[in-house]
């Protein structure tokens, strides 16, 4: 009985001072695209409009022990857009908008990951839409639940930066700012 107390005290002290890891490092290398989502909101005539992309492919190589070496890539099939009506979906595929006949996909390729603390990261990368590439910074929160990592992120784009919604649509009927949210679900490896 006398030996248990010192052993427990040493263990508690080691945990308190960080000598023993409390959480094991986890790797995420596969994205469950069926459980994942990409959505967007914008304003049209001062009303908020919500939409999603139904088809995309994502790759991920993320280790919580070395997050700065993480990589992510995303390819979105632009003709899979659902903006709430078949008319809107058809309009958004036309040359003034996504021009899906010429530019069928949007892509994102990460170039760096910064650790922000509390399971928050800032992922920098190249986003390409309509043949135009811009560097973007995406804040991401990683939530671990039941051996699954959920990467929640959001960013705001200016559609004018990618020449989306030109011509008669450039007059402000549709907001220039488009809010994009994503939720990528990846099992622990």
Q: What is the pLDDT of residue 172?
A: 73
Q: Whole-model pTM?
A: 0.83
Pick the CATH number of 23-187 from 3.40.50.300, 3.40.640.10, 2.40.128.110, 2.70.98.60: 2.40.128.110
In the structure, what pLDDT confidence band is assigned to residue 166 with cuts at 50, 70 and 90?
A: confident
Nearest Cα neighbor of 127 from 100, 89, 158 is 158
**Model confidence pLDDT, tens digit, residues 107-141:** 999 999 999 999 999 999 999 999 999 999 999 99
Residue 34's pLDDT is 95
Integer CA distances (angstroms), 173 to 32, 44, 46, in order: 36, 6, 8
Give the model's pLDDT for residue 179: 96
- The two tokens of residue 103 are 């530019």
- pLDDT(13) > 70: no
In the chain, where the domains are located: 23-187
Query: Looking at the predicted structure, is the pLDDT value of residue 8 above 50?
Result: no
Diameter over CA atoms, the chain? 83
Q: 17 versus 53: which is more confidently predicted?
A: 53
d(CA 33, CA 45): 33
pLDDT tens for each residue of 21-43: 445 789 999 999 999 999 999 99
Q: CA 83, 86, 92 angle in degrees (round to 5)?
A: 55
Measured CA to CA, the distance from residue 10 to residue 113 in angstroms comes to 36
């Amino acid at each position: 009985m006398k030996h248990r107390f010192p052993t427990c005290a040493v263990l508690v002290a080691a945990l308190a001072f960080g000598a023993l890891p409390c959480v094991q490092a986890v790797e995420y290398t596969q994205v469950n695209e069926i459980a994942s989502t990409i959505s967007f909101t914008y304003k049209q005539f001062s009303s908020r409009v919500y939409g999603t992309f139904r088809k995309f492919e994502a790759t991920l190589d993320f280790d919580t022990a070395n997050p700065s070496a993480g990589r992510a890539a995303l390819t979105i099939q632009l003709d899979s857009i659902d903006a709430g009506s078949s008319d809107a979906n058809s309009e958004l595929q036309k040359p003034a908008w996504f021009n899906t006949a010429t530019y069928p996909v949007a892509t994102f390729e990460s170039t760096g990951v910064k650790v922000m603390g509390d399971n928050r990261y800032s992922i920098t990368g190249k986003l390409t839409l309509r043949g135009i590439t811009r560097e973007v910074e995406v804040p991401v929160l990683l939530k671990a639940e039941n051996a699954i990592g959920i990467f929640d992120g959001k960013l705001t784009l200016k559609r004018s930066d990618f020449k989306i919604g030109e011509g008669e649509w450039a007059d402000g009927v549709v907001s220039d700012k488009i809010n994009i949210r994503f939720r990528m679900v990846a099992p622990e490896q």
